[in-house]
């Protein structure tokens, strides 16, 4: 039986991403785009745009909207929903000392 | 729920109907209920087969037509066997065996195997057992498309067998490869399923004018040529030479798998009104392989409806959902030909009323068949303006207006209100995205009262675009006249509800020096990502050195000072003042290009050198090694000043255009502006540097003078610049140019080039302010320009000290598990 537990992975200090921007992090061998919104919230998503592979971390953000830098497709960073198609988003949060933590699935059993 | 409690849903066929059904199932929460596995004979994700015609004619890239690329499957936890045929269905064991030996068990099975092209019996067609020989193709899949395109470039003559919808689309596509194309059709006229003889003759004429030849009533009996194809022979013994043959003679549903496991198969796999096989409650059928109420469909619109019913049923969302069949309308997608057809093409008896309008010279033919005051069929050729409307009337079988001309032409008052009112909510308006009238109406009633807003929210009208007029009508009608013009067209940027003058006033009055301050003060704190770069540009212009630079407000190009390329790499264009370089500079550029293995080094149209394909993390090192300032080839700012050799060497030179050009470029380099500024100086009116078609240009004329031109363009738009004034010296040229540019910076809309600005404001007004100082602001403009220049800092200096953390990083390693 496959069960999915989760554990928290520490990404980096919040200040290592400038407010309003995104950066790609290698988390447990998987690239993930992490965004530091001006509101102080953090978001995480797949790094490549489903349209033509544009680098999403290089996009413009505003509220919970992300705009891909190549052809302007828009995605909601909270839900992953986009006008044309969706992206995978992940749960991230910050802890009391200002570190970004990401909930990471841990697969046990088989 | 974990994997064990889920039912196993296996889908055979990774095409349009199968995947649409899966999308509909997921939309109804199916991911919780089903563990989904898909077998797809084609080794790809699911693509939009309709658009293959565009891929063949070159108007779209193969990569543009994917609906669900491979990662989509993984993200939705769908196991896809791409490139694996389902070879056998074992209904007793509820087991599917794949062509590679994979076995998978199902609780529910969905057969969506589509159709295959029908290949008529023609001699000498096959290489070996069932493999079409080189040079003979069918047109159904992406691979077919690639093979046809690859072979067509080598061919002088091509033949398409079949004068139906697809055959004609293929023929038009082949024309683009420079081949001489003949369509061979075994009937007396083209598209006999959708046209009558008279309409077909007009269509044929239109296509002949495009360069397609036709042979009608011709039955191909044999392919000629031993190794390579050399032509065709017909059953009357005549021949036609050609190096390639595309067969488009109809389709046959793929039913063998179903037949072999004992399901009822007639023309297609027989399904009931819930799209379930009539023999097995655990097997559903959808798409071109399905036969429903005696009908098999070959177009996508019916498949969408089938997929919805099926999804309602299989997920238990609506066990009473019923598919009742579709009325279909066809559109030809041949470039340059408008054709829509629906229902029957001929009267069936003397009771039928036939309305015909024909104008063969212009290729126009319109025909209506009216039966008991309802539309039984229609053909619109050459002008399909009324097509969307007629399709609706046809689809819902509305009563027709007494004056039939209203159905064919837009004359007199539009009679659209009553039919819209009567149209049921379920009627599908946008066939590309599958959006119904009800969805549009509800969206408008929810408060989105602009056509653009409704289109964006529902995706209606965002595909082929043919339904847009109707979408607009419905939104207008739903809002009962309370339709709002999208007010953002008047704003400087869409996210802040102010036109430019009011915005500038508010920014100055409230001392708003950063983009976030503007959103907070003027937009209720709501950040609009698309508005950020425009605001950043404006604030920099207003506040110069006092501007609070928030980097997230910049587009990526301006965060890393280079232009992003299609693969996420960047281009580097160092500044080469006035296009004048030196051996030492060239050597350095060459060394950098070698050291960083730059994939392309190119002389640009702006008289400098572009290093393309550089990794983001290499940018700072590249700049350091170059030791040259940024050319700002990525920014909405002053770009270059192109020059000609002028008096230095040229025998016609009247003014020192190179020296002036270098002075101009040194003075204004990198200055932010609403859009790009490209300048030029020419040493005489021969104008070798194209100064009259630049944003600002100076042309030397006899007597040591310079004519200054503004608002020229030779890019997406071509416009000769307006003569602003004539200057006596280099200093005066710099002053006039600077003053004009400052006036433009302050008054142009974001992304409005000088050519648009000049047309909007007029040269008289610009001249009055800039040259004659009628508004008394010349001194202030000069000072503001000087402040902008003083605030300039070469952005490539950030190579030595980055401005933000990890500014050029491509990937950062996370710290790890806690
Ligand atoms: C590199 C270059 C082509 C070349 O290989 O020669 C080029 C490349 C691009 N041009 Fe250009 N243009 C280049 C000269 C021109 C010229 C000729 C000139 O500058 O003398 C024009 C016509 C003049 C004009 O600007 O109108 C030109 C008119 C455009 C336009 C149409 C603008 C318009 O409103 O008419 C665009 C599209 C746009 O700006 O939205 C454009 C956009 C682009 C972009 C930036 C597209 C993009 O966003 O990625 C291309 C960037 C490729 C890159 O990263 O290097 N490029 N482009 C030229 C760079 C000149 C330089 O050294 O700075
Ligand atoms: C060039 C072209 C232009 C067209 N233009 C239009 C148009 O303008 N408007 C319109 O409405 N329609 C158009 N059509 C028709 C439209 O594309 C089809 O109606 C639609 O694709 C049918 O969907 P489907 O899922 O039933 O079949 P398909 O899209 O053909 O999907 C069936 C899939 O199942 C796979 N398959 C078959 N057997 C097996 C097996 N045993 N195991 C695994 N996989 C299997 C096939 O490889 C295929 O990928 C066009 C078709 C073509 C070829
Ligand atoms: S514009 Fe005049 S000066 Fe310049 S190169 Fe041409 S001919 Fe010579
Ligand atoms: S790659 Fe993201 S919008 Fe095109």
Please indicate, yes or no, if residue B617 is contained in any of the structural domains. no
Looking at the CA of A71, which ligand is closest?
4
Please indicate, yes or no, if residue B713 is contained in any of the structural domains. yes
B15/B96 same-domain check: yes
Looking at the CA of B332, which ligand is closest?
2
Helices marked H in B510-607: 515-522, 532-543, 556-560, 583-595
Give the atom of ligand 4 at the shortest distance from the alpha carbon of A71: 3
Backbone angles phi, psi at A72, to 5 degrees: 75, 15
Q: Which two tokens stand for residue B42?
A: 């084609």
Query: How many of the other CB atoms lie within 10 Å of CB of B728?
Result: 11
pLDDT tens, position by position, A24-34 = 999 988 899 99
Mutate to test the pocket of ligand 3, among B579, B648, B657, B698 (most ligand atoms within 8 A of CB): B657
Cα distance between residue A59 and residue A47, in whole Å: 11
Cα distance between residue B138 and residue B245, in whole Å: 9
Mutate to test the pocket of ligand 1, among B604, B628, B669, B757 (most ligand atoms within 8 A of CB): B604
B725 pairs with which residues across the strands?
Answer: B708
Which residues of chain B lie closer than 8 angstroms to A88, CB-CB? 75
Question: Considering CB atoms only, which of B72, B495, B551 is closest to A21?
Answer: B551
B434/B405 same-domain check: no
- Residue closest via CA to ligand 1's atom 55 equals B571
Residues with CB under 6 A from ligand 4: A 49, 51-54, 68, 70-73
Q: What's the number of domains chain B is made of?
A: 6
B197/B265 same-domain check: no
B769/B680 same-domain check: yes
Question: Considering CB atoms only, which of A3, A9, A88 is closest to B2?
Answer: A3
Mutate to test the pocket of ligand 2, among B11, B13, B248, B430 (most ligand atoms within 8 A of CB): B13
Question: Considering CB atoms only, which of B72, B459, B530 is closest to A83?
Answer: B459
Q: What are the Cα distances from residue B411, in Å, to B354, B378, B415, B467, B619?
A: 20, 19, 10, 20, 61
Looking at the CA of B21, which ligand is closest?
2
* Contact call for residues A44 and A91 (beta carbons, < 8 A): yes
Across the interface, whether the CB atoms of A10 and B815 are under 8 A apart is answered yes
B410/B429 same-domain check: no
- Chain A: closest CA distance from residue B450 (Å): 17
> Is the minimum CB–CB distance between A20 and chain B shorter than 8 Å?
yes
Question: Considering CB atoms only, which of B532, B810, B817 is closest to A60?
Answer: B532
Which residues of chain B lie closer than 8 angstroms to A65, CB-CB? 528-529
B214/B354 same-domain check: no
Distance A27 CA to ligand 4 centre (A): 23
pLDDT, position B464 = 59
Which residues of chain A lie closer than 8 angstroms to B3, CB-CB? 1-2
Closest CA to B336 of B527, B207, B441: B207
The dihedral through the CA atoms of B595, B596, B599, B600 has a sign that is: negative
Q: What are the Cα distances from residue B400, in Å, to B228, B404, B809?
A: 56, 8, 65
Domain boundary among B314, B349, B366: B314
Closest CA to B215 of B178, B241, B252, B253: B241
Residues with CB under 6 A from ligand 3: B 644-646, 650, 652-653, 682-684, 686-688
B89/B9 same-domain check: yes
- Residue closest via CA to ligand 2's atom 8 equals B50
Which residues of chain A lie closer than 8 angstroms to B567, CB-CB? 53
Q: What angle do CA B278, B284, B289 make, to 5 degrees?
A: 90
Across the interface, whether the CB atoms of A23 and B806 are under 8 A apart is answered yes
Q: Which two tokens stand for residue B2?
A: 């974990």
The CATH number that applies at residue B53 is 3.50.50.60
Which residues of chain A lie closer than 8 angstroms to B530, CB-CB? 60, 62, 67, 72
Question: Considering CB atoms only, which of B68, B456, B550 is closest to A83?
Answer: B456
Which residues of chain A lie closer than 8 angstroms to B552, CB-CB? 18-21, 38, 60-61
Q: Is the pTM of this model over 0.80?
A: no
Q: What are the Cα distances from residue B20, in Å, to B23, B74, B300, B303, B363?
A: 5, 16, 10, 8, 37
pLDDT, position B409 = 83
Please indicate, yes or no, if residue B568 is contained in any of the structural domains. no
> Is the minimum CB–CB distance between B63 and chain A shorter than 8 Å?
yes
How do beta strands B353-359 and B339-343 pair? unpaired
B350/B283 same-domain check: no
Q: What are the Cα distances from residue B580, in Å, to B54, B586, B659, B660, B739?
A: 45, 11, 10, 12, 26
B618 secondary structure, DSSP code: G
Cα distance between residue B87 and residue B97, in whole Å: 6
Distance B753 CA to ligand 1 centre (A): 13
Residue to test with chain B: of A20, A41, A86, A87, most B Cβ within 10 A: A20
Please indicate, yes or no, if residue B660 is contained in any of the structural domains. yes
pLDDT, position B489 = 66
B104/B47 same-domain check: yes
Instruction: Tell me which residues of chain B have a pLDDT lower than 70.
Output: 1-4, 411-422, 462-466, 481, 485, 489, 817-818
The CATH number that applies at residue B449 is 1.10.10.1100
Which residues of chain B lie closer than 8 angstroms to A59, CB-CB? 529, 556
Residue to test with chain B: of A10, A41, A62, most B Cβ within 10 A: A62
pLDDT tens, position by position, B118-145 = 999 999 999 877 889 999 999 999 999 9
Which residues of chain A lie closer than 8 angstroms to B69, CB-CB? 50
Provide the edge-to-edge strand list for the sheet that holds B638-643: B638-643, B677-682, B696-701, B705-710, B722-727
Backbone angles phi, psi at B592, to 5 degrees: -60, -45
Domain span including residue B518: 500-554
- CATH 2.40.160.20 describes domain A2-107: no
- Chain A: closest CA distance from residue B759 (Å): 28
Region of B251 (left: φ > 0; alpha: ψ -120 to 50; beta: rest) is: beta
pLDDT, position B817 = 64
Residues 6+ apart with CB under 8 A from B527: A38, A61, A62, A63, B495, B516, B519
- Chain A: closest CA distance from residue B568 (Å): 6
Q: How far apart are the first and last CA of chain B?
A: 28
Across the interface, whether the CB atoms of B566 and A25 are under 8 A apart is answered no
How do beta strands B7-12 and B108-111 pair? parallel
Q: Which two tokens stand for residue B85?
A: 């045929």
Domain boundary among B485, B508, B535: B485
Distance B115 CA to ligand 2 centre (A): 6
Looking at the CA of B15, which ligand is closest?
2
B405/B437 same-domain check: no
Cα distance between residue B697 and residue B714, in whole Å: 13
Residues 21-80 of A with CB under 8 A from B: 21, 23-28, 31-32, 38, 46, 50, 52-55, 58-63, 65-67, 69-70, 72, 74
B38/B168 same-domain check: no
The CATH number that applies at residue B364 is 3.30.390.30
* Contact call for residues B682 and B697 (beta carbons, < 8 A): yes
B174/B156 same-domain check: yes
B299 secondary structure, DSSP code: S
Instruction: Tell me which residues of chain A have a pLDDT lower than 70.
Output: 1-5, 84, 105-110
Cα distance between residue B780 and residue B776, in whole Å: 8
Looking at the CA of A51, which ligand is closest?
4
Please indicate, yes or no, if residue B191 is contained in any of the structural domains. yes
Q: Would the ipTM clear 0.85, i.e. be above it?
A: no
Please indicate, yes or no, if residue B278 is contained in any of the structural domains. yes
């Amino acid at each position: 039986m496959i069960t999915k537990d989760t554990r928290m992975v520490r990404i980096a200090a919040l200040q290592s991403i400038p407010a309003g921007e995104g950066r790609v992090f290698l988390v447990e061998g998987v690239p993930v785009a992490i965004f530091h919104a001006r509101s102080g919230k953090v978001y995480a998503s797949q790094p490549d745009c489903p349209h033509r592979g544009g680098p999403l971390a290089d996009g413009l953000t505003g509220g919970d909207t992300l705009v891909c830098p190549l052809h302007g497709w828009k995605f909601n960073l909270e839900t992953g929903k986009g006008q044309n198609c969706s992206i995978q988003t992940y749960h991230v949060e910050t802890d009391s000392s200002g570190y970004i933590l990401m909930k990471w699935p841990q697969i046990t059993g088989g | 729920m974990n994997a064990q409690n889920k039912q196993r849903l296996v889908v055979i066929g990774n095409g349009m109907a199968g995947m649409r059904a899966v999308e509909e199932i997921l939309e109804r929460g199916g991911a919780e209920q089903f563990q989904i596995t898909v077998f797809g004979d084609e080794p790809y994700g699911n693509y939009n087969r309709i658009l293959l015609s565009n891929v063949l004619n070159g108007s779209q890239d193969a990569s543009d037509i994917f609906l669900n690329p491979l990662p989509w499957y993984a993200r939705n936890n769908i196991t896809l066997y791409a490139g694996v045929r389902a070879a056998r269905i074992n209904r007793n064991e509820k087991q599917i065996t794949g062509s590679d030996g994979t076995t998978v068990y199902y609780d529910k099975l969905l057969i969506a195997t589509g159709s295959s092209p029908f290949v008529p019996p023609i001699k000498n067609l096959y290489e070996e057992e069932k493999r079409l020989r080189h040079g003979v193709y069918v047109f159904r899949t992406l691979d077919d498309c690639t093979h046809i395109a690859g072979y067509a470039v080598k061919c002088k003559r091509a033949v398409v067998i079949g004068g139906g919808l697809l055959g004609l689309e293929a023929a038009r596509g082949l024309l683009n490869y420079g081949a001489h194309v003949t369509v061979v059709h075994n009937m007396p006229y083209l598209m006999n399923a959708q046209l009558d003889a008279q309409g077909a003759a007009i269509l044929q004429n239109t296509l002949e004018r495009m360069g397609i030849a036709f042979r009608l009533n011709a039955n191909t009996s044999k392919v000629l040529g031993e190794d390579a194809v050399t032509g065709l022979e017909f059953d009357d013994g005549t021949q036609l030479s050609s190096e390639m043959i595309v067969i488009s003679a109809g389709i046959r549903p793929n039913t063998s798998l179903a037949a072999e496991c004992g399901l009822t198969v007639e023309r297609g796999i027989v399904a009931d009104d819930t799209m379930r096989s009539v023999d097995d409650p655990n097997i559903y059928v959808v798409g071109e392989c399905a036969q429903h109420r005696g009908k098999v469909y070959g177009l996508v619109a019916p498949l969408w409806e089938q997929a919805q019913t099926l999804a309602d049923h299989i997920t238990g969302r609506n066990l009473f959902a019923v598919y009742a069949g579709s009325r279909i309308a066809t559109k030809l997608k041949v470039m340059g030909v408008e054709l829509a057809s629906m229902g029957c093409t001929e009267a069936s008896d003397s009771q039928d009323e036939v309305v015909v309008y024909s104008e063969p010279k212009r290729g126009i033919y319109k025909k209506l068949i009216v039966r008991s005051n309802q539309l039984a069929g229609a053909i619109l050729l050459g002008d399909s303006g009324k097509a969307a409307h007629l399709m609706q009337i046809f689809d819902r079988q509305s009563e027709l207006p007494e004056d039939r001309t209203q159905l064919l032409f837009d004359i007199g008052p539009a009679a659209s209100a009553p039919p819209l009112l009567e149209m049921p909510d379920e009627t599908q308006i946008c066939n590309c995205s599958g959006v119904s009238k009800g969805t549009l109406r509800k969206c408008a009633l929810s408060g989105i009262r602009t056509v653009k807003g409704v289109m964006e929210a529902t995706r209606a009208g965002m595909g082929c675009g043919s339904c847009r007029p109707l979408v607009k009508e419905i939104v207008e009608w739903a809002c009962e006249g309370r339709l709002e013009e999208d007010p953002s067209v008047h704003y400087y940027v869409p996210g802040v509800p102010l036109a430019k003058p009011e915005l500038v006033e508010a920014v100055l009055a409230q001392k708003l020096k950063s983009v976030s301050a503007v959103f907070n003060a003027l937009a209720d704190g709501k950040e609009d990502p698309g508005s950020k770069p425009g605001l950043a540009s404006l604030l920099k212009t207003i506040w110069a050195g006092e501007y609070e630079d928030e980097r997230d407000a910049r587009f990526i190009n301006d965060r890393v000072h280079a232009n992003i390329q299609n693969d996420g790499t960047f281009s580097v264009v160092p500044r080469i003042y006035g296009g004048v370089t030196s051996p030492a500079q060239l050597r350095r550029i060459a060394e950098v290009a070698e050291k960083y293995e730059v994939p392309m080094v190119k002389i640009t149209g702006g008289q400098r050198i572009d290093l393309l394909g550089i990794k983001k993390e290499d940018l700072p090192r590249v700049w350091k090694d170059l030791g040259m300032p940024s050319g700002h080839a990525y920014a909405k700012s002053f770009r270059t000043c192109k020059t000609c050799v002028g008096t230095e060497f040229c025998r016609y030179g009247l003014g020192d255009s190179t020296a002036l050009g270098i002075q101009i470029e040194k003075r204004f380099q990198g200055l932010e502006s609403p859009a790009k500024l490209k300048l030029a100086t020419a040493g005489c009116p021969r104008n070798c540097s194209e100064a009259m078609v630049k944003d600002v240009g100076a042309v030397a004329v006899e007597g040591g003078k310079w004519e200054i031109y503004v608002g020229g363009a030779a890019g997406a738009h071509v416009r000769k610049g307006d003569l602003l004034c004539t200057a006596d010296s280099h200093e005066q040229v710099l002053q006039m140019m600077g003053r004009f540019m400052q006036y433009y910076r302050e008054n142009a809309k974001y992304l409005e080039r000088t050519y648009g600005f000049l047309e909007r404001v007029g040269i008289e007004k610009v001249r009055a302010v800039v040259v004659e100082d009628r508004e008394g602001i010349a001194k202030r403009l000069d000072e503001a320009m000087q402040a902008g220049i003083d605030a300039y800092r070469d952005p490539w200096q950030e190579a030595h000290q980055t401005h933000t953390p990890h500014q050029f990083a491509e990937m950062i390693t996370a710290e790890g598990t806690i």
